Structure 1
Amino acid sequence: MSNSQISSTRQRIINAAIELFAAQGVTETTTKAVAKSAKVNEVTLFRHFGNKHGLLLAIISESPVFQELSEYLKNQATESKSVRQALKNYCEDRLQALERSPNLVRSVVGEAGNYPLENRQALGRSLKEANHYVAEFLAIVMEREQLQAHLAPQKLASLLNIMLLGYAVMEFTSEFHELWHDKDDFLEDLVSLFLMGATNSKSLVTSELVHVEKVVDLPANTVQLILQRAKKSGLRDYALIYILFGTGLSTAEITNLERNHQICDTNQHLLQIVKGEFRQVPINQWIMGKRYGSYTNNPLTRYLKIRKDKHSALLLNNDAMPISVTEIQEYWQKIVEGLSTPEGQQPAIEQAQHTWCVEMLMKGISLENMSLITGWDLQELEPYEHRAKEKLALEQAIKLDKN
């Protein structure tokens, strides 16, 4: 038998075992049933794995939760723009790996007490190896960002993986816990809590845009075109894009907004950010030189007026459920499809925040007041201040040329 045939037979047995373990549990599954499902003799199974627990050992060791983790994290450490985004990408990827086999996770965790010592040790080794890779990853990104941690990277990695596994187990074993709107909501809370506890860094927690080296705001005609497209797409999309350009809020902050988080009258329209440090943000009725209604009659108020549901969330998705970060990004991509920035790139959703911040500074708001509204520190705002001064200098030069 060739090596490829041996590999194929082995994988067929593993796949059959995963399916049966997930369907009826490890304890209730016999090697005879696995062999029958894999279309091999039971002797063949024993030759490859020794016994049922040897088969489980292979499944744990080769789980997609752990496979190629080292290479994946190396890429994350070098490609991600910030420690926050790197952490979120890792957490999201690990949860997706667990979600591919929810029944198997339930079975493996729920019946772990019945396993022989070698199986429990294998599970422990796999987790330890994952913690090692994550610790190396954290050490690299935290050194790059010059962050001071209260705990060693190994302990931080262990805590992070335990919280991810705990969330997955809770999701797979309970219904309607209603602790988070969705996975994105959990991930935002997890990363924020982790960064706050690990580094005591407020700036990392309050903003998705950390350590911005270059501010790339959008020109007025592009912003107006995006808003026009959003208006044609529907009131929800129009309200979403209006919030992005009118408040400078991040996608995560938008998902946490509820209807009662707004203050609206003829003199003002504010949104209250209640996660993290409490603050209020005005919704600008003037965006890049064009007015989009009034404080009481604008894309957001019109969207809320037509809603007949009882959801507390400020924005809902296409299924009338609270909108997620991923869905916001998907709606943005659909609206800006085919558009191009002066740099020749498709507009990125982060550029809405850049554009708002630069515009506010150009209008004359002080850095101190901007810091209060955004929750960012003064150092974070420096690139935006520099870009605002650049644009003001250009405007002045153009005016001088006309005289």
Structure 2
Amino acid sequence: MAHQRTPTRQRLIQAATQLFIAQGIAETTTRQIADQAEVNEVTLFRQFGSKHGLLLAMMEDPQVLAQLGMALGQSTSQISNIPQALKSYANVHLQALAQIQEFVRSLIGEAGHYSVENRRALGQGLSRANRYTAQYLTNVLSQQHVQIRMPPEKLASLLNSLLLGYAVLEFSSEFHELWQDRENFVDGLVQLFLYGALIIPDDVPLQTGTSIDVLSPTVYSELPTSMVHEILGRAAMQDDQDYALAYVLFGAGLSIDEIAGLERSHAYSDEQHDWLQIPVGAIRQVPLNQWILGQRYGYHPDNPLSRWLANRSDDVSALFIDENKNPLMPEGILQRWQGWTSDLITPLGQPPLLPQATVTWWVEMLMRGLSPEELSLLAGHPVELLSPYVERVKQRRAMENAVHLDQQYPAV
């Protein structure tokens, strides 16, 4: 058998790796390891002295690092922007750890019982993994011409420490309320790195359509009512799809990542209203507004989105498509937005940014009377993130009340 031609020492390391991953270190016996490796238990003791000696050999074996999923395993050539690179790495890393969560729990929980040699080997293994990460980050950031505020090795150490810490928390306690879910944690992690660790030139775009755009430390202002109607009008002049796309942006408050993930089956109606089922990020249902900032854009079930769907002749399942009848990607949505807003300037002297469409919907819903908790459910974001916009609504209501009182004051 090919298995028997493998050197005994390597067979024992491979068997231990498989069993430690499957059931943890404490639950694995030396007899199980020996049986899996098809050797006598005495051979194990002769080779490694004890189970912890075998664990030490595992940690010192460079091939085990890849088996445990600690290496990145993803090519930087597939990364198109910095948020994607960070999010991709975090997700791959957490997925790899999730596949060996019994081993992670056991490794952390029993670390106090290990010898100095075991702990040193564990540290060396993590250091090797860290070097892979540092190289990955260096390649990605150099491609994007981005500088960092600390050496790559320190940045990698911070990233991996946060990921391992979250993994231990997730694997050991599912009842914590620190993060809504893994996606919520990864979004927060990416924000931290984008706006704290990196020095990003002005000409490097970050507007990728992910929730990062809205969740940045910058509190975006809502767009003026007249500008929103102007953008919707310009989109309507392009074609049915552009009009439907703008309608969904301002009528449901979705990010362009969420819109890019929509399929035809995600748009549906009940007896009185139209709805969208959001399949990415925070899974939820969102009503599609008929009124946008005081102007009606459709009657149930006749609106820009339903007209776009009714007039389509293709059989593509995606809700929005590009010129080649492929699903419309976030970059294509952003390109259309830039076409609608090319010469517009907000009151702050800046071109309107796509995240401002989402913020405009948030503020409108709050102004109409939706509570922050209700908006949190519809927007798929924690109430804390919405707090700047709750304050903004309070300011707007105060100004409206002041104007109302002024108009009621009798003339002198």
Corresponding residue to 2:337 among 357, 365, 376: 357
**Cross-structure match for 1:190:** 189
**Cross-structure match for 2:177:** 178
Conserved? CA contact 2:104–2:168, under 8 Å:
yes
Note the C-alpha offset of 1:40: 3.0
Conserved? CA contact 2:105–2:168, under 8 Å:
yes
The amino acid that maps onto 1:126 is: G
Q: Secondary structure at the match of 2:134?
A: helix
The amino acid that maps onto 1:346 is: N
**Cross-structure match for 1:69:** 71
Aligned length in residues: 298
The amino acid that maps onto 2:117 is: E
Query: Cα distance 1:144–1:206, how it changes in 2: closer, same or farther (>3 A)?
Result: closer
The amino acid that maps onto 1:69 is: A
The amino acid that maps onto 1:207 is: Q
Alignment of 1:2-401 (within 5 A): 5-6=5-6, 10-11=10-11, 14-15=14-15, 18-19=18-19, 23=23, 25-27=24-26, 29-46=28-45, 49-60=48-59, 61=61, 62-64=64-66, 69=71, 72=73, 75-76=75-76, 78-199=77-198, 201=200, 207-208=207-208, 220=239, 230=263, 232-235=265-268, 239-240=275-276, 255=282, 266=291, 268=293, 292-293=298-299, 335-336=317-318, 341-342=322-323, 344=324, 346-351=326-331, 353-354=333-334, 356-361=336-341, 365-366=344-345, 368-371=349-352, 374=355
The separation in 2 between residues aligned to 1:182 and 1:17, in whole angstroms, is: 29
Q: Secondary structure at the match of 1:235?
A: strand
Q: Secondary structure at the match of 2:145?
A: coil
Note the C-alpha offset of 1:56: 1.4
Please, what TM-score do these two structures have when normalized by structure 1? 0.58
Note the C-alpha offset of 1:86: 1.3
Query: Cα distance 1:147–1:14, how it changes in 2: closer, same or farther (>3 A)?
Result: same
Conserved? CA contact 2:321–2:328, under 8 Å:
no
In structure 2, runs of 5+ residues without a counterpart are 211-234, 249-261, 307-315, 358-412
Conserved? CA contact 1:91–1:187, under 8 Å:
yes
Note the C-alpha offset of 1:375: 6.3
Note the C-alpha offset of 1:9: 8.5
Give per-residue Cα distances to partners, 1:94-126, cap 9 Å, x unaligned.
111100011111000111111112211111111
Conserved? CA contact 1:239–1:299, under 8 Å:
no
**Root-mean-square deviation (Å):** 4.7
The separation in 2 between residues aligned to 1:112 and 1:150, in whole angstroms, is: 33
Q: Secondary structure at the match of 2:341?
A: helix
The amino acid that maps onto 1:102 is: Q
Note the C-alpha offset of 1:13: 6.0
Conserved? CA contact 1:35–1:42, under 8 Å:
yes
Percent sequence identity is 33
The separation in 2 between residues aligned to 1:122 and 1:371, in whole angstroms, is: 53
The amino acid that maps onto 2:19 is: E
Query: Cα distance 1:36–1:351, how it changes in 2: closer, same or farther (>3 A)?
Result: same
Query: Cα distance 1:109–1:18, how it changes in 2: closer, same or farther (>3 A)?
Result: farther
Q: Secondary structure at the match of 2:317?
A: helix
